């Protein structure tokens, strides 16, 4: 078992703590496989009645995946990157369909791969420290790990807004949107874990007792304008709506969009449109794996990682540079199914 995870049982709970504090617990292939192994081990273990996810130490639950490795692999043959996605998506799917209750404590930064662990869980606890985001379009990627499923099912056009802009939202906003099921003060988490491990049958009552009233959810103030200005499934139309509005909020969001990859913003819109129609989560993961296998070897992902993570100049040179230059043929190529022997399959 990897030392990047702390896996143990406490009382009647299986406990998985992410343990890469210097990387804000970003996921590796080894971690995804370790979580899969633990879930398989506990599936038929009558002593384990619930599975709890948290992080060992540091300021975040999980900042995402091992992006540098993905880019280095994508610049070569992409084999290692595809192996990561394959394992990660199997973990996402296993959590989505797991036979026992699961609980994620989204205390601190919860982004990308961390979202992929948290959102399939039955109980998702936010705190005053929660910073939730799917910021992938800023590095030429897209909101994967089930993003096409989860974000497309948020109220109104909030999912499209989060997918395109990579906006960070707090714990109160997560609760308001249904991304979190409960809001607890961070200081109550240890008591929650202890009491739930002792009697998992009372998990809902315990979380209810320890819940706090969150502050006002700021995103609710902008829900109407988000639904209006992000209404289109065509990126050019969203740009036009923001420009035509001309207000401070609209122009700020338009400026944000202009820093993102036009290609993967269009990928994201299509992913959410098609994800809303998916009949089961396995189909979503199969599609996202094919899209990820293509995107990880394309220019924008390699350039985004260079600009944001390697050189840190934050000046990516996207190609295509504008939404108009991203053609339907390009998107069809990215969404093309993989050959049968390369397709994603559940664990």
pLDDT tens track, the chain, 347 positions: 579 999 999 999 999 999 999 999 999 999 999 999 999 999 999 999 999 999 998 789 999 998 889 889 988 998 999 999 999 999 999 999 999 999 999 999 999 999 999 999 999 999 999 999 999 999 999 999 999 999 999 999 999 999 999 999 999 999 999 999 999 999 999 999 999 999 999 999 999 999 999 999 999 999 999 999 999 999 999 999 999 999 999 999 999 999 999 999 999 999 999 999 999 999 999 999 999 999 999 999 999 999 998 999 999 999 999 999 999 999 999 999 999 999 999 98
pLDDT tens profile 11-43:
999 999 999 999 999 999 999 999 999 999 999
CB atoms within 10 A of CB 48: 20
**Predicted pLDDT of residue 57:** 84
Residue 293 within a domain: yes
**Predicted pLDDT of residue 1:** 54
Q: Which member of 49, 54, 88, 144 is catalytic?
A: 144
Residue 165 within a domain: yes
- The Cα–Cα gap between 36 and 116 comes to 13
Residue 347 within a domain: no
- Provide the number of structural domains found in the chain: 1
Number of alpha helices (DSSP H) and beta strands (DSSP E) in the chain? 16, 10
List the structure tokens of 102.
């699961």
Domain with residue 302: its CATH number is 3.90.226.10
Residue entry with tokens 């929660």? 130
Instruction: Classify the C-alpha dihedral 108-13-102-64 as positive or negative.
Output: positive
Residue 260 belongs to domain spanning: 5-342
**Predicted pLDDT of residue 160:** 98
pTM greater than the 0.85 cutoff: yes
Q: Which member of 34, 65, 108, 171 is catalytic?
A: 65
292 is catalytic: no
Q: Which member of 14, 113, 146, 148 is catalytic?
A: 113
65 is catalytic: yes
Beta bridge partner(s), residue 111: 133
247 is catalytic: no
pLDDT tens profile 61-115:
999 998 889 889 988 998 999 999 999 999 999 999 999 999 999 999 999 999 9
144 is catalytic: yes
CB atoms within 10 A of CB 113: 27
Q: Which member of 66, 136, 170, 284 is catalytic?
A: 136
**Predicted pLDDT of residue 117:** 98
């Amino acid at each position: 078992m990897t030392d990047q995870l702390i896996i143990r049982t406490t009382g009647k709970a299986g406990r998985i703590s992410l343990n890469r504090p210097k990387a804000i617990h970003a996921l590796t292939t080894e971690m995804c496989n370790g979580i899969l192994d633990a879930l398989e081990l506990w599936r038929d273990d009558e002593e384990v009645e619930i599975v709890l996810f948290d992080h060992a130490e540091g300021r975040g639950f999980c900042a995402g995946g091992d992006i540098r490795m993905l880019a280095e692999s994508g610049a070569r043959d992409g084999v290692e990157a595809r192996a990561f996605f394959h394992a990660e998506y199997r973990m996402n799917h296993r959590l989505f369909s797991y036979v026992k209750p699961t609980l994620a404590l989204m205390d601190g930064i919860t982004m990308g791969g961390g979202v992929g662990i948290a959102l399939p869980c039955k109980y998702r606890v936010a705190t005053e420290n929660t910073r939730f985001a799917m910021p992938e379009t800023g590095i030429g990627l897209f909101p994967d790990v089930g993003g096409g499923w989860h974000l497309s099912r948020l109220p109104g056009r909030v999912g499209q807004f989060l997918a395109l802009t990579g906006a960070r939202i707090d714990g109160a906003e997560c609760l308001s949107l249904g991304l979190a099921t409960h809001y607890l003060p961070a200081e109550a988490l240890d008591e929650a874990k202890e009491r739930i491990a002792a009697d998992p049958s009372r998990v809902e009552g315990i979380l209810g007792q320890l819940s706090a009233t969150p502050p006002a959810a700021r995103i609710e103030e902008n829900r109407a304008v988000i639904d209006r200005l992000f209404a289109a499934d065509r990126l050019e139309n969203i740009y036009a709506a923001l420009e035509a509005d001309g207000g401070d909020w609209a122009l700020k969001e338009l400026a944000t969009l202009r820093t993102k990859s036009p290609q993967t913003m269009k990928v994201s819109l299509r992913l959410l449109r098609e994800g809303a129609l998916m009949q089961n989560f396995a189909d979503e993961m199969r599609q996202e794996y094919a899209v990820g296998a293509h995107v990880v070897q394309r220019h924008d992902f390699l350039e985004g990682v260079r600009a944001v993570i390697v050189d840190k100049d934050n000046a990516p040179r996207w190609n295509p540079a504008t939404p108009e230059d991203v053609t339907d043929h390009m998107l069809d190529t990215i969404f093309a199914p993989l050959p049968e022997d390369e397709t994603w399959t559940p664990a």
